Amino acid sequence: MPSPYDIFVLVKQVPDQSSKAGINPDGTIDRAKAKRMLNPFDRYALQAALHTKRTYGGRVTAISMGPPLAVEILMEALEHGVDRCVLLSDRRLAASDTLATAYALHKVVRWCGNFDMIFCGLQTTDGDTAQVGPQIAERLGLPQVTYCEDFAIEDGKAKARRIIEGGTQLISSELPLLITVANSYHQLEYKSFRGAWKVQWLQRHPEELSKLVSTVDLDTIGAEPERCGLKGSPTIVAHTDKVGEIGGNCKMYEGQSIPDMVTELIKSTNIKEFVQTK
């Protein structure tokens, strides 16, 4: 039996964009009012981490960075079966860009101790950059597998399949390793009733909960505040523009019978040029 693996998974709470709550009329998001959820991409990372634990043995640590409320997604991770959670929460982290975020997160990872692999979602739905994972790997000096859609351990080495343009790569890597998991990986399994039950029990027993869930700040993890938040971010959002109406003069077909509208559409466009003639 190989020694059990120490598996880290990084998760983030994002606004639920499918819900209309908290979406301002101008399209911006009021994060205080918006519904919150676990970043959908992270569900695949969580599944990869839990599957690795269940298959090869080990312990899963879920790590997140965000406001105190982000503990909600760590509770969700606990329900799904992770073993311990760490939330990095500090006001000085506000307005961090990807580089500053990666700096802070790599510090939490170090603080959490030894690990064999770190799973991350491919990207978040609120940033869409896919940068933080590789940037953490760079800071930790790790090899990485991005766009991973299959993961296994053989003879103490990671075997993974990653998506590339027009195909896939099969790779083998030494551990430790950072993996960003694509949404073609397996869906997150159901949370168990016992998991949900345990979390409800833990929430009534704060002293037990605190053994599994810790909230840390920059001082705890020894991160330099200058390298976090706005100060530590090399980029800023200097300007936002409402996207102008492109086109803007759509010819509308409405209120007539479907066949009439279709006939008119075919008449007034070049659509027929593309229709197969054979």
Query: Between residues 53 and 214, which has the closer beta carbon with respect to another protein?
Result: 53
Cα–Cα dist 200/271, whole Å: 59
Pick the closer one to another protein by CB: 60 or 105: 105
Burial 73-101 (b: 16+ CB within 10 A, else e): bbbbbbbbbbbbbbbbbbebbeebbbbbb
For residues 153 and 119, give the distance between their C-alpha atoms in angstroms, rounded to a whole number.
14
167 or 222: CB nearest another protein: 167
Distant-in-sequence, close-in-space partners of 57: CB < 8 Å, separation ≥ 6: 1, 2, 4, 5
For residue 265, the SS3 value is: helix
Cβ-based nearer residue to another protein, 183 or 214: 183
DSSP conformational letter for 260: H
Nearer to another protein, 13 or 233 (CB): 233
The residues, ordered by sequence, that sit 6+ positions from 69 with a Cβ below 8 Å of its Cβ are 13, 36
Shortest distance in whole angstroms from residue 87 CB to another protein: 22
Question: At CA 205, angle to CA 200 and CA 209, rounded to 5?
Answer: 80
Give the shortest CB-266-to-another protein separation in angstroms: 6
CB of 190 to another protein, least distance (A): 5
We find the least distance from the C-beta atom of residue 59 to another protein, in angstroms, to be: 19
Strands 157-164 and 167-173: antiparallel
If the CB atoms of residues 1 and 246 are measured against another protein, the closer one turns out to be 246
Question: Measured from the CB of residue 3, what is the shortest distance to another protein in angstroms?
Answer: 20
Q: How far is the CB of 34 from another protein (least distance, A)?
A: 10
Cα 11 to Cα 50: distance, rounded to the nearest angstrom: 13
